[in-house]
Structure 1
Amino acid sequence: MFSPEDSFVPVSTVTVTLFVMGLILFALERRTQEGERSKGPPGPTPWPLVGNLLQMEAQIHISLTKLRDRYGDVFQVKMGSLVVVVLSGYDTVKQALVRQAIANGTSMTFSEKYGEAWILHKKICKKALRTFSQAKAKNSTCSCLLEEHICAEAAVLVNALSEHPDRERGFDPTVSLVTSVANVVCALCFGKRYDCNDKEFLNIVQINNEVLKIFAAGNLADFFPIFRYLPSPSLRKLVQYIRRMNAFLEQNIQEHLNTFDKNCIRDITDTLIELCEDRYEEGKQSVLSSTQIVRTVIDIFGAGFDTIIAGLQWCLLYLIKFPDIQRKIYQEIDDTIGSNRMPRFEDKTKMPFTKAFIYEVFRHTSYVPFTIPHSTTENVVLNRYFIPKDTCVFINQYQVNHDPDLWSNPNSFQPERFLDASGQLNKDLIEKVMIFGMGRRRCVGDGFARLEMFLFFTTLLHQLHMENISGQELDLTAEFGLTMKPKPYKISVYPRH
């Protein structure tokens, strides 16, 4: 027979043993979880020297979208010696750019890294656009509103297309589109417009196109650091083009500095100067220098130029590809605007189908397949994967816009997908279309670009009917680049009224 003392020892030993084992298992589980959280993203095995470059197709966004199906929303590839983390999936991208704000964008003008100067740069840039776009600039003696500029240039574009000598046989509308869109941003930035044959104007348009081509082609020095120390024809060209662009802008800005009058704000450059002077008068530091004003104007110029031209090129292509959709837009224009006046910004809220068409062009083409490359500002953990500070990050906007978990029949062009049962826009759905980025790092000219796209597009369709030419096969595949353009096509144009 056991005494109470005999029975106490084994019970206590079992309890202590179980308790210790529990602690050990808990510690092991925590270490496992921490290990999972701290491990880097998965990805394809890189080859020596070239990394995964030779595994990429010509359409890089397609290759990276296929890799997402295998490795998930966060994975990494090596482009030569450069490690790139690719983010896909709407929720993951939103987590990264909005909730965690893990990365800062890299400006194409090589402006400062993320920090106080960068924040000031973007803040002033946004304020200048808002001040000069939404209302008459303070104390301005001219009606240089964004809406007035666009309406004027849209009217010029209508005349250029309707009076083209090959308007019925068919012609490429690109030159006319470039001239009108470029003149909007020139008028906004510099207070002047240019004739389509002006040498200075044509020179700036050409420089901008060449810079975009070089960026789209990539630079070996980006992927193989050793090439930074070797002669590079493309890099030399890029530096030359940027210097020529800067010289043009600096000349215009110096003229503005010399003739600035706070009682007559002529354009965005004057607005920038005024904002900087206001900060100085208020005793605030970090005032933008003339060099920084040049960078800001370049950013605004870029935001209001290539993306809008490409968007309009795609819109016209889809119109002649889908004539039934074009007829629905005509009907909405006639019902909302009529023939006695021209379209205005205020019509935007009353034309859900037209807006749905534009958003579906954004989504279906995804003509800006990636945001401008980002870089992590600190060590972060995203979706349980550790990403070190200063890691290059690609945001795959194309994948988000073609994600079957988000869009039914994503490869089908269906503007109606954005309309609810009452025919109104589904705002939650249109916000998921990625074309200008997301969160604080979204394109500074986002709102500006959407308004300009709408007004140019509706003005064209208010006045003109467009058709495909006989025998032309329309190809909706894109030519890869920073902004993907449609392959050349021709349209026939006829007056509507």
Structure 2
Amino acid sequence: MKMAALQYFTDYFNFKWTCVLIVMILALHYLTQRGKKTPPGPWTFPIFGSFPVIAVRMLRSGSLTQPHQFFASLSKVYGSMYSFSVFGQQIIILNDYASIKEAFHNQHLNDRPTTPFTMKVGGGPGVLMTSGDLWKQQRKFSLSALRSMGVGKSSFEDQISRETGVLITELSKKTGQVFDPRKLIVNAVSNVICSVVFGKQYSYDDPEFRKLLEIAERHIQLVGAGGAQAFVKVLQYLPTKTNRELIKNADRMEQFVQKHIDEHRSQFDPDDIRDYTDVYLEEIRLHKERGEVLHLKEDNVRGAVNNVFGAGVETTSTTLRWAFLYMITHPEIQKRIQDEIDSVIGRNRLPRLSDRNNLPFTMATISEIQRHASILFLGFPHSAARDTKLCGYDVSEGAMIISNLWAIHHDPDFWQDPETFNPDRFIDSDGNVQQHEEHLIPFSIGRRACLGENLAKMELFLFFSHLLHQFSFEKSDGQTYSLVGNVGLTYTPQTYQFKAVKRN
């Protein structure tokens, strides 16, 4: 009897203090949030935050594999800007252009939500992952370095055209065959970036290079939607197979880049600056020589080179893979582009950058590919450097900002029938291309916008127009083609095969 009474008292005592603890946590949460006008969002629980609500809603909606669509659907409930928390980390989702523009032009919302794990997985302390003065200096330097090498200028056109010529030769070997174009496209785009970063190019059958590209592609998949695996802190500390593989892949890519940097350092000649890596090493040398204070250090070289290489390859090659998938699923659009190119360019030469204004339907199709596919569908996360205001709401220091670019590119209030692939939406009544700059932002906006935007635009036009000038792309008999993509850091098409038929 005494034991039963003691057990009852113990259970009651534990229950009582558990209730007291819960009340204290709720009171503390209320006191810390009192007076703040936080963005609307789902109910937040102690410790877990909104995770239980978000998880249940995603499962019920069936959009677990398409989070961008789920986030867009929540905007109908909470508005275009809303927030939720996951294990203490505040996440703000922006679903319209106005809120993204205000956020990304706010100097206090330009940081990255980085941790040692994020920095490692993101390629090191380069332009992509750093914040504050280091980021500002690296970005300014990188823009200047890329311009000095002709990137974005017509003088760089011949370098891209040479690589399109190599790709045309490789595709010609497969004329009439059914094959997956992924590796050829990635190799071609990678070589353009390698010429900028390392001053060299690789053969398409180089085993080391092909292995590295496979690792890089896998890395993008593992990082998850919007970089969730790297940026959501609670996921970083889980001892999962995914995290172990991410670290291993990061090490492999780091070794590859470091090898090239070491080669550049050993052969460095200040009178013969060959590429981005040389420019970086020269910048550091000059500042040391002058005794000037410089945020750029030796460690930043690897991070910066890694960022330029990785980001430049993934986004452009993925866009081109989507481009040819749209062409084989919309042969009538492919035919219109080829007719336009033949009419303007003829069959005796390939298109040049100077031809873009005379190829409105071709340019409109590239814009529609970027809109419909929305490669960087959840942008790249920003972080609040300090407490600030956004759209009239309070944003706390450390909050993570996610821009749902897919929602903007599929907004039914602006785009008529947004799920339909229709390049004509970018053609005005006079037959000219409409930019729709406030509703088509594939490279994001603000000071954190893509560094390589000009290079990417050049590559997309030249690769796309040259290949359609030379080939017709057709479906493989018996294969089904889906326009629903795979979610990683970027939105990639499902694996497909086609036939490349040489045109006369």
TM-score (norm 1): 0.84
Change in CA separation of 1:255 and 1:186 when aligned onto 2, cut-off 3 Å: same
Deviation by residue 1:384-429 (Cα, 9 ceiling, x = unmatched): 21111110111100001111222222122111111221111223x1
Answer yes or no: is the 8 Å Cα contact 1:321–1:468 preserved in 2: yes
Q: Which residue of 2 aligns with 1:133?
A: 150
Amino acid at match of 1:62: Q
Q: CA deviation at 1:101?
A: 6.2
Amino acid at match of 1:187: S
1:68 and 1:431 mapped to 2: Cα distance? 19
Answer yes or no: is the 8 Å Cα contact 2:474–2:499 preserved in 1: yes
Amino acid at match of 1:481: G
Equivalent in 459, 462, 484 of residue 455 of structure 1: 462
After TM superposition, the structure 1 = structure 2 runs for residues 61-210 of structure 1, keeping only pairs within 5 Å, are: 61-98=68-105, 102-105=109-112, 108-111=122-125, 113-134=130-151, 146-164=156-174, 167-210=175-218
Amino acid at match of 2:361: F
1:352 and 1:407 mapped to 2: Cα distance? 19
Deviation by residue 1:126-179 (Cα, 9 ceiling, x = unmatched): 22222213489xxxxxxx964233212211111212211xx4252211121122
Amino acid at match of 1:114: S
Q: Which residue of 2 aligns with 1:40?
A: 38
Q: Which residue of 2 aligns with 1:388?
A: 396
Answer yes or no: is the 8 Å Cα contact 1:105–1:441 preserved in 2: no
1:221 and 1:267 mapped to 2: Cα distance? 30
Answer yes or no: is the 8 Å Cα contact 1:436–1:443 preserved in 2: yes
| In the alignment, structure 1 residue 212 sits paired with structure 2 residue 250 | no
Deviation by residue 1:324-371 (Cα, 9 ceiling, x = unmatched): 211221122123322222222222233221111011111111121111
1:387 and 1:135 mapped to 2: Cα distance? 36
Q: Which residue of 1 aligns with 2:21?
A: none
2:132 and 2:471 mapped to 1: Cα distance? 48
Q: Which residue of 2 aligns with 1:464?
A: 471
Change in CA separation of 1:458 and 1:284 when aligned onto 2, cut-off 3 Å: farther
Q: Which residue of 2 aligns with 1:335?
A: 343
2:311 and 2:155 mapped to 1: Cα distance? 17
Amino acid at match of 1:233: K
Change in CA separation of 1:291 and 1:336 when aligned onto 2, cut-off 3 Å: farther
Q: Which residue of 1 aligns with 2:7?
A: none
| In the alignment, structure 1 residue 352 sits paired with structure 2 residue 350 | no
1:86 and 1:316 mapped to 2: Cα distance? 31
Change in CA separation of 1:227 and 1:297 when aligned onto 2, cut-off 3 Å: closer
> Aligned residues, how many?
452
After TM superposition, the structure 1 = structure 2 runs for residues 8-27 of structure 1, keeping only pairs within 5 Å, are: none
2:93 and 2:259 mapped to 1: Cα distance? 40
Amino acid at match of 1:293: V
Structure possessing the higher radius of gyration over alpha carbons: 1
Q: Which residue of 2 aligns with 1:254?
A: 262
1:346 and 1:41 mapped to 2: Cα distance? 47
Q: Which residue of 1 aligns with 2:382?
A: 374
Change in CA separation of 1:99 and 1:379 when aligned onto 2, cut-off 3 Å: closer
Answer yes or no: is the 8 Å Cα contact 1:188–1:267 preserved in 2: yes
Aligned CA-pair RMSD: 2.6
Q: Which residue of 2 aligns with 1:55?
A: 57
For structure 2, the 5+ residue unaligned runs are 1-32, 59-63, 114-118
| In the alignment, structure 1 residue 494 sits paired with structure 2 residue 504 | no
Amino acid at match of 1:194: Y
Answer yes or no: is the 8 Å Cα contact 1:420–1:426 preserved in 2: yes
Q: Which residue of 1 aligns with 2:28?
A: none
Identity %: 33
Q: CA deviation at 1:277?
A: 3.9
Deviation by residue 1:475-496 (Cα, 9 ceiling, x = unmatched): 1111111111111222111111
| Bigger mean CA deviation after superposition, 357-366 or 377-386 | 377-386
2:217 and 2:224 mapped to 1: Cα distance? 11
For structure 1, the 5+ residue unaligned runs are 1-34, 137-143
Deviation by residue 1:54-106 (Cα, 9 ceiling, x = unmatched): 43322111110000111111101233443211011111111211366633345
Change in CA separation of 1:86 and 1:191 when aligned onto 2, cut-off 3 Å: same
2:491 and 2:67 mapped to 1: Cα distance? 12
2:35 and 2:372 mapped to 1: Cα distance? 35
Deviation by residue 1:408-464 (Cα, 9 ceiling, x = unmatched): 22122111111221111223x145312221111111112211111111111101111
1:54 and 1:453 mapped to 2: Cα distance? 40
Change in CA separation of 1:442 and 1:184 when aligned onto 2, cut-off 3 Å: same
2:454 and 2:230 mapped to 1: Cα distance? 34
Amino acid at match of 2:301: I
2:443 and 2:477 mapped to 1: Cα distance? 36
SS at match of 2:92: strand
